Structure 1
Amino acid sequence: MQNTRYARSGMVCSVDHLASAAGLTMLDRGGSAADAAIATNAVLAVTAPHMCGLGGDLFALVHDGGSGGRAEGSVTALNASGRAGSGADPGRLRAEAHTVMPLRNDIRSAPVPGAVDGWLALHSRYGRLPMATVLAPAIDLAAHGFPVSPLLAPIASALAHHPDFAAVSSPGQLMTRPGVARTLEAIASSGREGFYQGEFGQGLLELGAGEYVPDDLAKPTADWVEPLRVRAFGHDVWSMPPNSQGYLLLLSLGVVDGLDLPPTPDHALWAHLLGEAARIAGHDRLSLLHEHARDLVSETEIARRRAMVDPTARLRVRGLTAEGDTTYLCAVDGDGMGVSLIQSNASGFGSLLVEPRTGINLHNRGIGFSLTPGHPAEYGPGRRPPHTLTPALITRQDGSLRSVVGTMGGDAQPQILLQVITRLLRHGQTPGQAISAPRWRLGTGGTGFDTWDAPDETVMELEEGAGWADGLSALGHPVAGMPYGTGFGHAHLIDVLPDGVLAGAADPRARIGAAIGR
């Protein structure tokens, strides 16, 4: 369970060994970590439609590896999350008695997908190989077949209304996705026009029935933005700015960095302090997070929230405020470039809507919008919803790359990464130890996207093997035991050791994940 893989000059980690292998092939052909990340993600878009795909969104952090012999480098952030269509009408949803965005089977919860724009922007800035080469493994698998994974087989029936999925019944069965193959070929030959103005784009306009207009698909959705950063455990930890919830990870890390942690994560006080940091960071997320939010991780705010932590008892957070599924992958190349990329449908297969010509299922990231009139994250034309996607990247004090890390997990993503990063940086654990160790999460028994609806009612859900239950109960936490791997994310991590050797781990919870290197 504590398997750390080592490599000398390049590594890729993902939830699927077929995808990781495609990424490593790009490195073997002289491609960059960006090429490897795109190739890996493209294969996942074929083999793991229950986690991600061309109908979803994408965020990425990139460390460029420096240049001219410098160890330091720069970190950039890519926001390729889509915007609601021009037909977005919150009043109509409220008139239909909706108080929250529809979770399933409603096109209004599917903003224009941004993943393909993300691939193209990442490739344009950091790619070395032709896009046709990068997408070739995914095209081959989509056109000629891939063995259905044990993760996809039990749930493929959710999209049985499309012929690609109707016959899927067992792991190992050969599955083809001809529409996805055509779409990938169109992207390889014609760029974004082949996707947004091609077969998929035309089908999306028809399926939207007024939710989108052609101009919505003509405007690129990917933006290079300024990443957020916090100093913790002697390192700089980077994540995405809003509309991502990345600030929650950084805020909670900043809080924890100033607390007196016990020497081992096995102690219940460790789980208590990290859990309280997560609750204090996130209790007001619903009122704070929107695409234009700013100044969320200042030193003053970190100190203010850290002062709320009580090491002897669980805090009641009500009144403190004045007022999926997903897949993660990472790659590092021999030149020191690192890519931390996360791509998602939101919840499982997303909206359960499929563009019928291509068989591409659509995300439901629009569930992050508010239907409260006047809320800064209210559903409306051209707006980006609040996102759970939280990639992370860690640099040393000299600016050199230390780690790329991330996870799936809905609202729990910052909580999972808080534990993994603290184990890695504070306690010196190997990637395999930090990734495979039992976790806690703030649970509600709901959708996985409703943690902050009532933060005082959350339960500390503990994975099988965690020894914190009695101690947390004594500190006032309601606790519940959960089977190992049930809803605790698929985290992956590549760590650059001081001598340049790469140490990586794919989450054993993914069952078919792979960290492979060269």
Structure 2
Amino acid sequence: MVDQGVVCSVDSLASGIGGDVLADGGNAVDAAIAAGAALTVVAPHLCGLGGDLFALVHVPGEEVPASLNASGRSGSGADAEALRAEGHVVMPFREDIRSTPVPGCVDGWVALHERYGTRPLAELLEPAIALAAGGWSVTAMFATAGRMLVGVEGAEDLAGLEAGTMTTRARTANALRAIASEGRDGFYRGDFGQGLIELGEGLFTEADLAAFQAGWETPLSVDALGHRIWSAAPNSQGYLLLLALSIADRLDLPEDPADPLWAHYLVEASRLAGYDRPERLFEGAEVADLLAAAGERAARVSADGRVDVPVHQAPGGTTYMAVADADGMAVSYIQSNAAGFGTRLFEPRTGIGLQNRGTGFNLVPGHPAEYGPRKRPPHTLVPALVTRQDGSLRLVAGSMGGDSQPQIVAQLITRVLRNGQSVEAAVGSPRWRLHPGETGFGTWTGDYDIDIELEAGAPGEWSAGLAERDHATAWAEAGGGFGHAHLIEIDLDGHAEGAADPRAQTGTVATHRIVGGSR
């Protein structure tokens, strides 16, 4: 047992809804579904019904977390040769439905609910329906992001809104009502599914929409920093987080995170973990050999300079949420459109925005991640859990951030486990990232110039110390480009403490305190 349930998300309304579910006796999965549904309403620039979902679920007494992969598959009409014939060398990034797989988010909710839910799905979706139908106050982030949709067909209810004004999303409310009353069929075989088939003009079939997009998989783990660290298996890039931390654990990380050697070692660990990602990350990829070779990669790191690695560096639309309940169940939950508002295409019947996660596919003939029918693309989403050697839960961790997610989460986990910082201090501390280009997905869109970006407020010693070690650095404005990360820590006495990222502006922690160990 822990002393309180905690929900950390990017939005106060969503966190509050999740907290209310915990207060009403629901578990962490119930709270995650309810809060996740609310986020699809109030934060459509980050996630939506047209996006994907990954989650790790910790159940006390179970040795291995449950890992949910709810990333959708490409349509039956996916054709890489047709794209190459049009002159494409990488997948289209915007305004092209071929970068849209079948969305997996709704099937993710269904899978989570079937395995762990204790409240009716309709009950969990009702707060999100009420928000969409009754209205809420537009956040500054949503208003700013919505400017990119001015003039975009189908996005009239999202574009040009002013922060602080009330708005509604009637069509989203109707889509959620259909899911509440008919389950997945109300979405995939309802107005959205039929509209997607028509919009795809042969890309999608009824069989594509009938196929369940979510599945339970075995998570990956490594022992590092005195703990076991867990993440999702490929097609998630979670192995990059595990490999980077396994490399870093073999280095003499300084006690003080302001020391430039701390930043240098973590940068090098991330570079050595990820330089061959384009060849190694695809659906079904085996990465056990990479994780086992952490020592070999760590041996290449020098305290004095930057290691040479092959160059393969060929603001995200994702949101992360951490939830823990008073019975010790926890969910590391991340859902996404890929880039902000995804493709910027909207299914006309429901107004649901379509993700552009298909940008992760490759157009090189014969590549294991080559675009093709009914395949999952390589994915940036990285949910994480940290357990102690006795199996008890220590951390629930994750962040938005496109290509940068493993780097951001590695810094957070290191600050807590190696440097002894509180979750609030870790989340609030300045970060670095390997610059992922203008889109946040530079590895996949062909933007190959990567420097180290330092967040405003980072120690000045980082800049000087990294430059001395041959790293090219640049300063960048603090904000969402460095992720919206959330952490929950459960100490040995059973106290749960959460931290929501201040970069999210409206990020909050909702708690439900338990008195006397009972609800």
TM-score normalized with structure 2 length: 0.95
One-letter code aligned to 2:229:
V
Post-superposition offset of 1:206: 0.9
Distance 1:58 1:169 in 2: 27
Tell me which residue corresponds to 1:251.
243
Please tell me whether the aligned partners of residues 317 and 456 of structure 1 are also in contact (alpha carbons under 8 angstroms).
no
Between the aligned residues of both structures, percent identity stands at 56
Distance 1:449 1:476 in 2: 24
Please tell me whether the aligned partners of residues 234 and 283 of structure 2 are also in contact (alpha carbons under 8 angstroms).
yes
Post-superposition offset of 1:330: 1.2
Please tell me whether the aligned partners of residues 280 and 287 of structure 2 are also in contact (alpha carbons under 8 angstroms).
no
Post-superposition offset of 1:87: 0.5
Distance 1:304 1:427 in 2: 25
Tell me which residue corresponds to 1:277.
269
Distance 1:97 1:341 in 2: 37
Counterpart check, 1:387 vs 2:382: no
Within the candidate set 184, 196, 204, 1:192 is matched to 184
Aligned residue pairs, count: 505
SS of 1:212 mapped into structure 2:
coil
Within the candidate set 12, 19, 40, 1:24 is matched to 19
Please tell me whether the aligned partners of residues 251 and 297 of structure 1 are also in contact (alpha carbons under 8 angstroms).
no
Distance 1:226 1:166 in 2: 38
Counterpart check, 1:440 vs 2:437: no
Post-superposition offset of 1:310: 1.3
Please tell me whether the aligned partners of residues 73 and 401 of structure 1 are also in contact (alpha carbons under 8 angstroms).
no
One-letter code aligned to 1:214:
E
Within the candidate set 487, 491, 495, 2:485 is matched to 491
Within the candidate set 336, 349, 355, 1:344 is matched to 336
Post-superposition offset of 1:74: 3.5
Post-superposition offset of 1:162: 2.5
Distance 2:128 2:446 in 1: 42
SS of 1:327 mapped into structure 2:
strand
RMSD: 1.7
Tell me which residue corresponds to 2:403.
411
Please tell me whether the aligned partners of residues 490 and 510 of structure 1 are also in contact (alpha carbons under 8 angstroms).
yes
Distance 2:162 2:361 in 1: 36
In structure 2, the gaps of 5 or more residues are 513-519
One-letter code aligned to 2:66:
T
Deviations 1:281-320 (A, max 9, x none): 0011001100121134655311111111111101111289
Post-superposition offset of 1:101: 0.4
Tell which deviates more after alignment, 148-157 or 217-226. Answer: 148-157
Counterpart check, 1:87 vs 2:77: yes
Tell me which residue corresponds to 1:174.
166
One-letter code aligned to 2:277:
R
Distance 2:457 2:201 in 1: 50
SS of 1:247 mapped into structure 2:
helix
Tell me which residue corresponds to 2:473.
479
Within the candidate set 487, 497, 509, 1:515 is matched to 509
Please tell me whether the aligned partners of residues 469 and 479 of structure 1 are also in contact (alpha carbons under 8 angstroms).
yes
Tell me which residue corresponds to 1:117.
107
Please tell me whether the aligned partners of residues 159 and 165 of structure 1 are also in contact (alpha carbons under 8 angstroms).
no
Distance 2:371 2:183 in 1: 29
Within the candidate set 341, 353, 362, 1:361 is matched to 353
Within the candidate set 21, 45, 50, 2:45 is matched to 50
Please tell me whether the aligned partners of residues 312 and 448 of structure 2 are also in contact (alpha carbons under 8 angstroms).
no
One-letter code aligned to 2:73:
R
Tell me which residue corresponds to 2:324.
332
SS of 1:367 mapped into structure 2:
helix
- Runs of 4+ aligned structure 1 residues displaced above 6 Å come to 452-456
One-letter code aligned to 2:93:
L
Tell me which residue corresponds to 1:131.
121
Deviations 1:148-198 (A, max 9, x none): 111111221333433652664311111111111111111111111011001
Within the candidate set 153, 161, 184, 2:143 is matched to 153
Within the candidate set 278, 284, 292, 1:292 is matched to 284
Tell which deviates more after alignment, 157-166 or 99-108. Answer: 157-166
Please tell me whether the aligned partners of residues 9 and 517 of structure 1 are also in contact (alpha carbons under 8 angstroms).
yes
One-letter code aligned to 2:182:
S
Tell me which residue corresponds to 1:3.
none
Distance 1:446 1:167, change over 3 A: closer
